[in-house]
Amino acid sequence: MFENIKDYPGYKVFTNGLRSYSQFAILLGLNSETQFRDIVKTFKRRVAAPFEPMLVNDGAIKENIFAANEIDLFKLPVPWWSEIDGGRYIGTWHINVTKDPESGLRNVGVYRMQILGPNQTTVSVSPKSHIAFHMNKAEKKDQPLEMAAAIGVNETLIISAAAALPYGTDEYNIAGGLEQKPIELIKCGTVNLEVPANSEFVIEGIIKPGIRVQDGPYLDYAGIPSINRNAYLFKVTGLMYRNDPIFRGASVGIPSGEDHILFSVLSRLNLVDFHGSRIRQKIQNFLLKKRYFKAFQLSGRVGKLIHRNNENINN
């Protein structure tokens, strides 16, 4: 926890919250000495018993509400996580909420977001991700896609959002299963979406159709610089945050960092998907299950190198 941040009075920044398996155990209400295999068993049992979320009328997130013309994302305590990064990443350990424009099915994921301006960010996604499915449908109608980003949510929501769940699964239900109680949600003010009522920050807005921007460079999970030149452009239309808010984020790219610890738990549930080839997926899942994090990073680097070579050949 970082307090007394220069130029950001009243704000705090928290990171590294799930750096060890004992912290995962505590999150689930287990003894901190619980063995890894027993943590995984608890996860499996609770994921199989989801709880539907509960809509509430009010929550701490509504203590400070700002209209579009009052928003400046640079006034929030967003770290410059790595000297390799090309900017400040407001979305590193958070959730992105969207809905299928046709069916209304909700998706909760984790998609990196870099600040581009006072009211604009990137949303960096894989073409095979669920938010990309939503955006494809919106763009066919030449319509924007509504999105809300919630920062400083219960860690169970991060776990559920990061999991490779089947399309159409509501991650709020899975998070409820992990907590063994319904997740309390509240309606956003400027978009037709629901976010956790106890979030620290909520950023509302639209992903603009037909526009792609560069995200990065940034330090990725493999520990190397990456760039996504086809990221979405997100325009902010509303901002809410609690009194004395705590900004939650993560510094990725370090072997056995909290992102790797999370992946290793999800791999045991067969819920990791980096959208690569089947062989690459098998290798990465094996390394994560064994907790060979440096080898996992190396496999990611090799996979990215092969992907880039294939792109060059095709071009």
What is the per-residue burial (b if ≥16 Cβ within 10 Å, else e) of 144-160? bbbbbbbbbbbbbbbbb
pLDDT over 60 (residue 295): yes
Give the pLDDT confidence of 190-223 residue by residue, as tens digits: 999 999 999 999 999 999 999 999 999 999 998 9
pLDDT over 90 (residue 279): no
Looking at the chain, the whole-number percentage of residues with pLDDT higher than 70 is 96
Look at residue 280 in the predicted model and tell me its pLDDT.
Answer: 82
pLDDT over 80 (residue 308): no
Average pLDDT of span 267-276: 86
pLDDT over 70 (residue 254): yes
Look at residue 74 in the predicted model and tell me its pLDDT.
Answer: 97
238, 61 in Cβ contact below 8 A?
A: no
Average pLDDT of span 155-164: 97
Picking from 167, 163, 184, 198, the residue whose alpha carbon sits closest to that of residue 47 is 163
The type of residue at 206 is I
The type of residue at 194 is E
Give the pLDDT confidence of 84-135 residue by residue, as tens digits: 999 999 999 999 999 999 999 999 999 999 999 999 999 999 999 999 999 9
What gap in Å lies between CA 226 and CA 222, rounded to an integer? 9
Average pLDDT of span 219-246: 95
What gap in Å lies between CA 268 and CA 258, rounded to an integer? 16
Phi, psi dihedrals of residue 290, rounded to the nearest 5°: -85, -10
User: Which band of pLDDT confidence, cut at 50, 70 and 90, is reported for residue 310?
Assistant: low
Looking at the chain, the whole-number percentage of residues with pLDDT higher than 90 is 88
User: Which band of pLDDT confidence, cut at 50, 70 and 90, is reported for residue 307?
Assistant: low
The end-to-end CA distance of the chain, in Å, is: 46
The type of residue at 19 is R
The type of residue at 314 is N
Give the pLDDT confidence of 138-150 residue by residue, as tens digits: 999 999 999 999 9
Give the pLDDT confidence of 16-46 residue by residue, as tens digits: 999 999 999 999 999 999 999 999 999 999 9
Q: Residue 192 CB: number of other CB atoms within 10 A?
A: 10
User: Which band of pLDDT confidence, cut at 50, 70 and 90, is reported for residue 277?
Assistant: confident
User: Which band of pLDDT confidence, cut at 50, 70 and 90, is reported for residue 2?
Assistant: very high
Q: What is the pTM of this model?
A: 0.94
Q: What is the mean pLDDT of the chain?
A: 93
The type of residue at 129 is S
Bridge partners (DSSP) of residue 89 are 114
Q: Which domains does the chain have, with CATH numbers?
A: 12-314 (2.30.110.10)
What gap in Å lies between CA 28 and CA 176, rounded to an integer? 12
Sign, CA dihedral 176-124-8-240, equals: negative
